[in-house]
Structures are given as C-alpha cells and as structure tokens.
Chains A and B, each alone.
Chain A
Amino acid sequence: MTHTDWPLWEVFVRSRRGLSHTHAGSLHAPDAELALRNARDLYTRRGEGVSIWVVPATAVTASSPDEKDPFFEPSADKPYRHPTFYEIPEGVKHL
C-alpha cells in the first residue's frame, strides 16, 4: 500500500439540512472528484449526511499548539462573554 503521490483531503459532512458542515476526517485521493466519492464511501454510508465538502489539507491554516495560551487563555476568565445567563426555552435543540 503506497499512495505517497495522492494528496490528503479534509472531509466535512453536513448531517442534516439546517446544520453546518462538521469535520468528519481525512482521506487520500488523486483529485477532488474522487475525494468526494471516497468521502461518500468512508463517511456517509450509514446515512450520516446530506452534503459533503472536501478541502485540500494543504489549504487549511491551523493554529499552532505553541500559540495555545495567547490564543485561548485570555477568554477563560471572561464569563460575561458566555451566554450562560439566559434561560434556554424548552424545545430548542440547536442553541
């Protein structure tokens, strides 16, 4: 098994209409069309999705683990940024 030539693709699956695409995993494929088909076979065969995006992994710019503190730490002690003081009405699922 060697597929060093094939680029890596990140797969995003929308599980239902109205929800957003969620990262499902990654796979190798020679081009975008086959990446979509591979994604269909790998991530949606049990009815998990209604829509798929594939994105070349090289096109994703990720935050570095070294920058974790400056990126995320400052928000930890600002509870007023969190909408925790609202009561969520019954029956609202995706809030």
Chain B
Amino acid sequence: MTATVPATAALALGDDALVLSHRLGEWAGHAPVLEEEVALANIALDLLGQARVLLSMTGDEDELAYLREERAFRNLQLVEQPNGDFAHTIARQLYFSTYQHLLYAELAAQEGPFQPLAGKAVKEVAYHRDHAEQWTLRLGDGTGLSHDRMSRACDALWRFTGEMFQPIPGVDIDWAALETSWLASVTDVLGRATLTVPEGPRTGAWAAGAGRQGLHTESFGRMLAEMQHLHRSHPGASW
C-alpha cells in the first residue's frame, strides 16, 4: 500500500520527536548520575531516529530540522518545555511517552503510511514509558523533597497535556478514546506514586492547542537557536 503521506501529520509527529530529543540531549554532561545520563541519551537517540524517518517522509530532514523558523514547527508545546529539574524532565516524559506509546500502538495496528515506523518504534517507546513510570514512582513516593518537586513538576506541565489530543489531520484514530486511556494510565501511575492528579484545565487554557498551529512558548526560540546554530553558520558542513 503506497498511501500518500499526510504532510501535516508527518511534521507534527516528527517535530514532537525531534524537539523532545533535543531537550533530552541537553542533559548530556548535566544529568544527576552517569547511569541516568546514558538512559536519557538513549531515549533521545530513539526519538531522533523516529524524527528522521518522519521528517524524511515529507521533505529533506536536514532542511526541515535546521532551516525552518520557529513558527513553522508543529510540535506540541509540552515537548519544548525546558528540562527544569530532574522531576520536570520525568513529568514531561511521563505525559509524553504515555501518549506516544498509546498513539503508536494505534498506528502500528492499522494500515497506513505510519505503520512501519510505529510498529518498530512502539517497542522503544514502551521502554521510555516504563522508564518515566519507574522514576515517577520513586520520586513521588521517595523523600519529602522529591515528592514536593515531582508534585510541582506534574502540576506545572499539566496545562500542556490537553493539546496532545487535538486530532491531527491524516491520523485516523479515535482521539477521545486515546485521551481516556491516557488519563486512566497517568492517574494510575500518579496514584501509585502518592501524587495527586493535578487540578486545572487541560484544554482551553491560553497556552494549550497552539504548538500544532506553530505558536510556541518563550523558551522554544532559544532552544531552536542552539539546535540550528551550527548548521546555519556552516551550511552543508560535514565530518
């Protein structure tokens, strides 16, 4: 089956993976322990691999990654949020990996342009999800300090989670069911981690729903400048 690739969907999914990969890569040299640094870098590389496949479906991967302006990126605002402390990184990963795992499982089960990628990536993402869940449990149900920090991180990122379930044109799945499954899973993990499910709106907040339309949060421009700097300074450079 050679279905035409829905460019909007390939960009949205590809940018999610690319941007989160870059954020996780920022931990290199800064992670709390060496073992965890390798774990985060592994996840970042998995995501980068997915991004390359997805972006190549709709154009030249380097051009798309390095030469687009901020407003042309279609990633969720969640994935561009700064790393913050380790708890913020884990909360972001928990929210996103749970979503991505459920989404890729759906895509892997139906014929379409994303089936080959999703079928392969769903196993990687299952591990990302497990990694985030394991850490959420330990930070939430750890010391008073780790509990407070994890709780703060879950609250802070909550308002970016509604955007994940805005249907992406060209991705033909039951989005409402995806959201229900996501909420059930996250509620379960937070409960086991002795954390409370954050209150507050997940959709309709001023910041939600904008990343897919090219509207991004303040820190994204800075991240992009760093990510694109080398390629823009030395076009076509190779080693």
Residues of A within 8 A of B (CB): 1, 3, 6, 27-31, 33-34, 37-38, 40-42, 45
Contacts and interface: CB of A to CB of B under 8 A. Distances in A.
A76 to B, nearest CB: 40
A28 B35 contact: yes
Contacts of B130: 37
State the majority secondary structure of interface residues on A.
mixed
B35 A38 contact: yes
A41 B134 CA distance: 15
B58 to A, nearest CB: 29
A12 B9 CA distance: 43
A33 B138 CA distance: 11
A33 B32 CA distance: 18
Nearest to B38: A41
Chain B interface residue count: which class? 10 to 19
A48 to B, nearest CB: 14
Contacts of B33: 1, 3, 6, 28
6 contacts: A3-B32, A3-B33, A3-B34, A37-B130, A38-B36, A45-B42
Contacts of A40: 127
A87 to B, nearest CB: 45
B188 to A, nearest CB: 18
Nearest to A31: B138
B42 A34 contact: no
Contacts, number: 33
B131 interface: yes
A89 B176 CA distance: 64
Contacts of A34: 134, 138
Contact of A42 (B32, B35, B127, B131): B35
B39 interface: yes
B193 to A, nearest CB: 14
A54 to B, nearest CB: 12
Most chain A CB within 10 A, of B33, B42, B127, B131, is at: B33
